Each structure stands twice: as C-alpha cells, then as structure tokens.
Amino acid sequence: MRIRFVNPLLTIIIILCLFLPVLDGCALIKKTTGAGEQKSYNKFRKQALASLDEPPQQLIENYQDMKQHDLVSWVWQRPGFDLARCRVVDIAPVKNFSAFVYPWAEERIGAALHKICGALKDETAGSALVEVHAAIVDMKPQKKIVSRLLPFEEDFTSIEIHLVMVDKNSGEMLCKLVHGKRCENFKEAIDGMMADIEKFLLTNLAKKSS
C-alpha cells in the first residue's frame, strides 16, 4: 500500500521540478534575488486577442530610402545631421507594438537611449532641438517550453525596434533606424541591440571634432 502511494507522489514532484523553473512569468517562481528589477523582468504577458487581431503597428512604414548597415539592420540619415551638435535631445516614452505587454523592456530601452543621447549632445555646440521616438515592433521574451526542456532544440529570445529622430521645431525627419537582436537570454538581446545602436550613433551621427 505504501509503494502505491509513494509512486504517484514522486511523479508529481518530478513534474513540478521539470516545469516550475521554466515558467518565467509565473508569480509562484519569481526569484527573490535581484529585488525590484527581477520582479519587473519576470512580469510580462501576451496581448489581448482583440489587439492581436488588429494590423501590426509600425513606427517606420516606408523602407524604400533605407539601406542595410554593418552595425544596424536598416538606416537612413539626413546628410549633415550631427547628433553631437544638438542642444536638446528629448527621448519620448518607448512604445510597444509587439504581441507582449512588457513594461520592463520599454523601460530598459528608454534608459539606454537616455544614456546614449545624453552623452552625445552638447548644449554649447549648436541650436538643434531633437526628439527621439522608439517602438518595439517585435519581441519574444522567453524560449518555448519544449526548447528549454530539450537542449538540442534550437531556440532564441529576440527583440526588434524602430527608432526615429525628428527636428522638434520643423518636424523634419533626421534619422530612422531599424535593428534587432536574438540571444539565449532576453536581457542580453536588449543590451546587445542597444550596444549596436550606440556604436552606430557614435560612429555615424556624432561627427563633432573634439
């Protein structure tokens, strides 16, 4: 009798051990280390079905004048535009047009843009007032459960954004950029994507001599 009781119990324990570690968004298994950021990182969900049925939104509708680049996927920039000679660079709140509701991702991208543009602008070098808009157009914040259980099943997390810079006074387009990244870890995907964008801006849109 005791053997018959223990076997089902062991089965339940094995199933819990297999599945609980991979349910990243589940409140039951949120990690206690990392405090607030870890809780925010784990908090995402799928968009409502009604939203998913709507045509996907895009920040950049026309790619015809854009070109592929070694550092970012697609880009267009107005000739002569120098981000380092802008007196003001405002970062608009990051929009999310993807299939997931994920405030942490928007905040991390926004923080990276504030850091990058804040380091580049020079209030004494020019008079241009620039506004930066970014939108997440696609993301996959976690791998499929099957791929996490089976090491040989290749799968990645991923993210893609659209970014545009406009003159605040005239509304003229100054730069538009599309880039994305895929990695084993979603934090690495976002940070790697933003590192590529930072390198592009430093080498292509910050031409002011020291």
pLDDT at position 207: 67
| Location of structure tokens 């349910």 | 23
User: Do the domain assignments include residue 84?
Assistant: yes
User: Do the domain assignments include residue 193?
Assistant: yes
User: Do the domain assignments include residue 28?
Assistant: no
115, pLDDT greater than 50: yes
User: Do the domain assignments include residue 22?
Assistant: no
Q: What is the mean pLDDT of residues 138-151?
A: 72
Q: What is the CATH number of the domain that holds 91?
A: 3.30.160.100
Give the C-alpha separation, 131 to 122, whole Å: 15
Query: Averaging pLDDT over each range in 60-74, 109-123, 140-154, which range is the top one?
Result: 60-74
User: Do the domain assignments include residue 159?
Assistant: yes
6, pLDDT greater than 60: no
User: Do the domain assignments include residue 126?
Assistant: yes
User: Do the domain assignments include residue 34?
Assistant: no
Q: Which residues constitute the domain of residue 64?
A: 45-204
Q: What is the mean pLDDT of residues 37-54?
A: 69
**Range with the lowest mean pLDDT among 20-34, 105-119, 176-190?**
20-34
3, pLDDT greater than 80: no
User: Do the domain assignments include residue 149?
Assistant: yes
| Residue type, position 148, single letter | R
Q: How many domains does the chain have?
A: 1
pTM listed for this prediction: 0.75
Measured CA angle at 95 (ends 94, 101), to 5 deg? 110
1, pLDDT greater than 70: no
